[in-house]
Amino acid sequence: MANYTTVTEFLLLGFSDVWELRVLHAMLFLLMYLTTLIGNLLIVTVTTFDKSIHTPMYFFLRNLSVLDMCYISVTVPKACVILLLNNRVISIVGCAAQIFLIISCAAAELLFLTIMAYDRYVAICHPLHYPVIMNPHVCVQMTLASIFSGLIYAGVHTSNTFRLSFCQSNVIHQFFCDIPPLLKLSCSDTFINEVVIFFSAVVIVGGFFSFIIMTYSRIFSAVLKLPTRGERGKAFSTCIPHILMVTVLVSSVFVVYLNPTSNSPTIQDMIIAVFYSIVPPFLNPIIYSLRNKQIKEAVRRIMRR
């Protein structure tokens, strides 16, 4: 029988061992982190205190902004500590907590984006029924359902991962704890884990992504019937960035999670991880505030007060 040493803690990696590059990466991460916090705090403040935009769309946008601040806070602060202080150690409990929070935030993010797509579909394709379908009670129920679904989804994957034994290397080839690099360190059979990940990625994530694409295809069909080019342009400029954001999130998750035990280059895995753990929270305020006329006007009204 083979002798194994049980892993009690893990070591995370940075993007480089060169000090100057580590500082550069840390400053870039910190800039993105602060920009994300400021942008999302601005959206939360405006959508809370300006009553003129107390509509379902901005209710979901406010929830998305709160979620994005939590989402990026799970990974970036620890990554900056790794880069600047070279403190790479993370306990098993800390690793499990990080995985649970990342997956729950990512799942809730996808659900919120799906709800926001449906909200736009009802508003554009069924405007007369919009107040009835998207009433405040339904909006709250959708939000709570998304949060609890994300927590359950994360709980399943986290518990399924940490039932494994880790008795090989304790070096996680990633700047945060994630399931695919952990599976590579396990000395247990990971077949069930891979099946569950594949099923959830294809059926659940793929299902929501397909729903978003079908929703926007119907929106575009309705938009093309609008009488003026200006109205069509405004609708397209709002919808296309949303689709691109969802595509970046889902495609990067697919690349990493559909082949969790692949031996792809470490730096490639780390760069792809940035696209689903940092880029969505960073870009969402830009997409939904800087390009949004109502948000800009609400900011001006609050500043005048």
pLDDT recorded at residue 1: 41
Enumerate the H helices of 86-205 as residue ranges: 92-125, 130-133, 136-161, 179-185, 191-199
pLDDT of 105 over the 80 cut: yes
Query: Of the spans 40-54, 97-111, 165-179, 221-235, which averages the highest pLDDT?
Result: 97-111
Question: pLDDT tens digits for 196-211?
Answer: 998 998 899 999 999 9
pTM value > 0.75: yes
| Tokens of residue 138, six digits | 């339904």
Q: Mutual orientation of helices 229-257 and 206-223 as an angle, nearest 10°?
A: 170
pLDDT, greater one: 88 or 296 = 88
Q: Rounded mean pLDDT of 9-30?
A: 90
pLDDT, greater one: 98 or 13 = 98
Domain boundaries, the chain: 9-304
| Tokens of residue 163, six digits | 């039932």
Of the given ranges (36-45, 118-127, 255-264), which has the lowest mean pLDDT?
A: 255-264
Question: pLDDT tens digits for 242-256?
Answer: 787 788 888 888 887
The β-bridge partners of 11 are 89, 171
Q: Are 47 and 58 in contact (CB under 8 A)?
A: yes
CA atoms within 13 A on the CB side of 103: 27
Q: How far apart are CA 275 and CA 175, in angstroms?
A: 13
| Tokens of residue 6, six digits | 């049980």
The confidence band for 262, taking pLDDT boundaries of 50, 70 and 90, is: low
Give SS3 for 16.
coil
Residue 64's H or E segment, with its range, is: helix 56-85
Q: Domain 9-304, what architecture? A: Up-down Bundle (1.20)
pLDDT > 90: percent of the chain: 45
Q: Rounded mean pLDDT of 103-115?
A: 94
The β-bridge partners of 281 are none
Residues, the chain, total?
Answer: 305
List CB contacts of 168: < 8 A, sequence separation 6 or more.
4, 7, 185, 186, 187
Amino acid at 136: P
Residue 45, judged by CB atoms within 10 A of its CB (0-12, 13-18, 19+), counts as middle
pLDDT recorded at residue 257: 80
Question: pLDDT tens digits for 56-82?
Answer: 988 998 999 999 999 999 999 999 999
Q: Mutual orientation of helices 56-85 and 266-277 as an angle, nearest 10°?
A: 150
Give SS3 for 91.
strand
Residue 273, judged by CB atoms within 10 A of its CB (0-12, 13-18, 19+), counts as buried
Question: pLDDT tens digits for 166-204?
Answer: 877 888 988 999 998 899 888 888 899 999 998 998 899
Mean pLDDT of the chain: 86
Residue 144, judged by CB atoms within 10 A of its CB (0-12, 13-18, 19+), counts as exposed
Q: CA triplet 183, 72, 91: central angle to 5 degrees?
A: 45
Neighbours of 304 (CB within 10 A): 6
Question: pLDDT tens digits for 276-292?
Answer: 889 889 988 887 766 66
pLDDT, greater one: 98 or 240 = 98
| Tokens of residue 122, six digits | 């009802």
Q: Are 79 and 22 in contact (CB under 8 A)?
A: no
pLDDT > 70: percent of the chain: 90
State how far the alpha carbon of 66 is from the alpha carbons of 151, 203, 285, in Å. 16, 27, 11
pLDDT of 265 over the 60 cut: no
Place of tokens 């709800």: 115
The β-bridge partners of 90 are 10
